Structure 1
């Protein structure tokens, strides 16, 4: 219940905030103001019934089955490659906000990246569990090269879209799961320093020597706007500037649910990656503390299950799921307050979107499955003792 309750409350908050942040702009354009709110509620119900419950009810052996792992991973990679094909064939005409990240299925826009996150967690948990005890000094590269290469291939497919935030999330999943799989702390520290150095050099090169084709792109303007939002307000900084206004307007207690000014056409698509700005304006600092408190409560309890788990596989899955939720929240909050580049990463459980909610619900179902199995094992050991 310590995992399910914060999950449920976050989803409820999400439905309410999606309705509140989207209703005005829908009404202004002649649509039903409850359209996105109702859709989010439907996504939540479908996610829980068709993904959350099965991932909780199925035996864990199903997720450890090599055939399931291969098929799940293969499907996720195939979907990512489909997007790359769309990018190559249709170019910018297939892009949404500068990126090709969705497959239109009619009733839902499927985002393959979301599927790839969970597929990567399940794959790495399976592979690293098989290598338990073998990741020792002198043998680390040999044991980790294949999962590292596959992760790198998935990251390459995502960055072609281009989706820098998604690429970073896949990297963090692999980095955290490799780190807790038995890799010596000194090696992890060295990897961290090297990756940070590469990242800083890459950012410097991007900002200094970027060709005109990149400088004129949507992603580049959003990336650069974090450095000079007010100067670049007309070239990608408008979202961040209006986010600042929304947060400032909200103050401590907020202006009241439904009373945001920035959602009235000033903040584009306020129900997606900048929904936290609207929440800050309407609910104030207190409301944001409640939302982030629920997120922290959820993450803490998932980590606790992973720490106490006797199975290496169970621990790896829990820490992988924690990484997905934490990294998404970190990137989203950082972008909203101007501390990180705007990468389009949504706020877990809160932002509008079916793909994200479905996959996150499946993650919660899997963690609850692991928690139930660990408790059953403890009770069995206690009864035997």
Structure 2
């Protein structure tokens, strides 16, 4: 334990801690006014986020750091983790079938309510998929040769597709896209020829574009009342559809414009006072831009991308395929979520409800991301210890 602590990677730990602490501050700032207006304790979401952060850092993250690394690549752990995750996703589908809109939150059945905390299985599914793919691809390292690629990748591809199918039924298009990116990136860095990976990415891109184009042209009647469809249309015409789903994007523009380069001051946002719906979740970046300015928002994003770079650096230097793939998979989760969140806030991508990593309000996301960071720190410490022993020999 002491040896691991001595080899902590501060290039990962410090940005992670800074982002989590800043997230607590911004969740409190973004939620306090609207809670106060509605007669609730203005600090309740900030306190909850602080509790989530404490558990995430000192319980979940620390546990994943101190556990033996071999546990994460044992067959029992991988299978058990995957089965639990799939059962939770299947349970959500059962909720949707039997309870319908009564179990939905913002048009999606994506949470399991345990009263104390709401668990979002999708967040767990991201990490479960990364660990499963790393385990499978590591065991089949070197077998992805021409003529056998499809055959060797069929099993993980089918399982990933089934997982994405369960998520998209909720429906959660943003979550499905994150899972798809995990598969593409991990297949790409596992030894699959780059040509195949690029063709796969192009094929998916063209398919999605054609599907979106057909839906826009068709504009089917049965989708008109769908929450997700209205949010998609509001991305295309935010000001025309401000009263039918475009309010978030329009007020996001106002928040960023109000903030300018330096911001109006921490706690002084106007858009969080009932104009921007749920400003402490997926649109918290707009409040950050309004309160500490575009420069402050860029610094926050810079810290996230520095963390991603540091994780990828650990993956690049890893001595085993499993360790490298886990690092690249976790970096993909953080990058993809950040990409979709920033794109939605700026109106460059459809609003999918993807949260900003470490910053947005939510226990499931913070706990799972902290577990992921703990695993990366575990890998980094083990790699450093191994290198030190080799140098002494």
* TM score, norm. by length of structure 1: 0.99
Deviations 1:336-381 (A, max 9, x none): 0000000000000000000000000000000000000110111111
Counterpart for residue 90 of structure 1: 99
Q: CA deviation at 1:191?
A: 0.9
Q: What stretches of structure 1 move > 6 A for 4+ residues in a row? A: none
Q: CA deviation at 1:210?
A: 4.0
Q: CA deviation at 1:216?
A: 1.9
Does 1:247 find its partner at 2:247? no
* TM score, norm. by length of structure 2: 0.97
Q: Where in structure 2 are the equivalents of 1:24-39 lying within 5 Å?
A: 24-39=33-48
Q: Distance in 1 between matches of 2:238 and 2:220?
A: 21
CA RMSD of aligned residues (A): 0.7
Counterpart for residue 346 of structure 2: 337
Q: Which residue of 247, 256, 273 maps to 1:238?
A: 247
Q: Which residue of 194, 210, 215 maps to 1:206?
A: 215
Counterpart for residue 356 of structure 1: 365
Does 1:311 find its partner at 2:315? no
Q: Distance in 2 between matches of 1:210 and 1:370?
A: 49
Deviations 1:287-316 (A, max 9, x none): 112101110110110000001111100000
Unaligned runs of 5+ in 2: 1-9
Q: CA deviation at 1:49?
A: 2.1
Q: Secondary structure at the match of 1:3?
A: helix
Counterpart for residue 49 of structure 1: 58
Q: Where in structure 2 are the equivalents of 1:170-319 lying within 5 Å?
A: 170-319=179-328
Deviations 1:130-176 (A, max 9, x none): 01010111110111000000000000000000000000000000110
Deviations 1:33-66 (A, max 9, x none): 1000010000000111221011000111100110
Q: Distance in 1 between matches of 2:198 and 2:130?
A: 22
Q: CA deviation at 1:94?
A: 1.1
Q: CA deviation at 1:190?
A: 1.2
Q: Distance in 1 between matches of 2:59 and 2:114?
A: 17
Counterpart for residue 30 of structure 2: 21
Counterpart for residue 367 of structure 1: 376
Q: Which residue of 153, 156, 162 maps to 1:144?
A: 153
Q: Secondary structure at the match of 2:236?
A: coil
Counterpart for residue 5 of structure 2: none
Deviations 1:171-226 (A, max 9, x none): 00011001101010111121122111111111112212242121221100101111
Counterpart for residue 169 of structure 2: 160
Q: Distance in 2 between matches of 1:239 and 1:208?
A: 24
Counterpart for residue 123 of structure 2: 114
Q: Distance in 2 between matches of 1:192 and 1:49?
A: 38
Q: CA deviation at 1:329?
A: 0.4
Q: CA deviation at 1:228?
A: 0.7
Q: Which residue of 106, 129, 132 maps to 2:141?
A: 132
Q: Distance in 1 between matches of 2:18 and 2:325?
A: 26
Q: Distance in 2 between matches of 1:187 and 1:269?
A: 41
Q: Distance in 2 between matches of 1:292 and 1:110?
A: 26
Unaligned runs of 5+ in 1: none
Q: Secondary structure at the match of 2:11?
A: coil
How many aligned residue pairs are there? Answer: 384
Q: CA deviation at 1:323?
A: 0.4
Q: Distance in 1 between matches of 2:96 and 2:148?
A: 39
Q: CA deviation at 1:334?
A: 0.3
Return 209-218 or 319-328, whichever deviates more: 209-218
